[in-house]
Amino acid sequence: MTLLTVAGIEAGYGQMRVLRNVGFAVEEGEFLGILGHNGMGKSTLLKAISGDIPLTRGRIALAGQEIGGLPPHRRARLGLGYVPQGRQIFPALTVRENMAMAALASGRSPVIVDGFLALFPRLKPIADRAGGVLSGGEQQILALARCLCGQPRLLLLDEPTEGVQPSIRDEIVDTLHDLRKRLGLTILLVEQNVQFMESLADRILQMEKGCLSAPDNPAAPSMAVF
């Protein structure tokens, strides 16, 4: 089943159009990667899907339901989980409290937190430590764990390896593999790190100046332009 359909979208900031006629689909259970250098529009794409910025053209559907005009919290309730760049955890709250907040915000009971903590061996021993004192890599893992507490159908990840040391990067790769196996997650990840992407994604598209292509993989399905 197609979980996410993005059809001919355009979006940007004020008068500046960043995304140009972007269209693709993500199948349930798939891990789709979008690669691109700095400033090509990867974060803008995730912001448009999550609802942080409005569309000026096109459609977005989640499991067949049109979400392109909904505010971010309604999209989250329908199953969009978004881990933006910069992590945005609550620094004064503990790891456990950060996760409980995410569960509550999506209408779930905080009792689910312990089950999710068990999936993150790096976080379990520091569950009562404040988010703000964690290392950058630990904060990244917390941002991921927190998002999962909302039990999303689709996970949007923005450059989880940015500013993270190589050992933690490897750990994030292992964690994502493990989570996929256990939870059957569907993931859309944007990155500029080719190695990281190749070790995770089922399919990779490239973003250049706000447009998508699949130049390095002729076997990949052609871009649907709706």
Ligand X SMILES: Nc1ncnc2c1ncn2[C@@H]1O[C@H](COP(=O)(O)OP(=O)(O)OP(=O)(O)O)[C@@H](O)[C@H]1O
Binding site for ligand X (CB under 6 A): 13, 16, 18, 36, 38-44, 85, 192
Buried b (16+ CB within 10 A) or exposed e, 3-23: bbbbbbbbbbeeeeebbbbbb
Q: Is 124 in contact with 88 (CB distance < 8 Å)?
A: no
Please, which residue, 41 or 51, has the CB nearer to ligand X?
41
DSSP class of residue 129 equals S
Cα gap 124→101, rounded to integer Å: 17
- Shortest Cβ 127–ligand X spacing (Å): 30
- Shortest Cβ 104–ligand X spacing (Å): 29
Please, which residue, 21 or 85, has the CB nearer to ligand X?
85
- Shortest Cβ 20–ligand X spacing (Å): 12
Please, which residue, 33 or 36, has the CB nearer to ligand X?
36
- Shortest Cβ 163–ligand X spacing (Å): 12
Please, which residue, 103 or 143, has the CB nearer to ligand X?
143
Alpha-carbon distances, residue 206 vs 33, 127, 140, 197 (angstroms): 8, 37, 24, 11
Query: How is residue 180 written in tokens?
Result: 């996929």
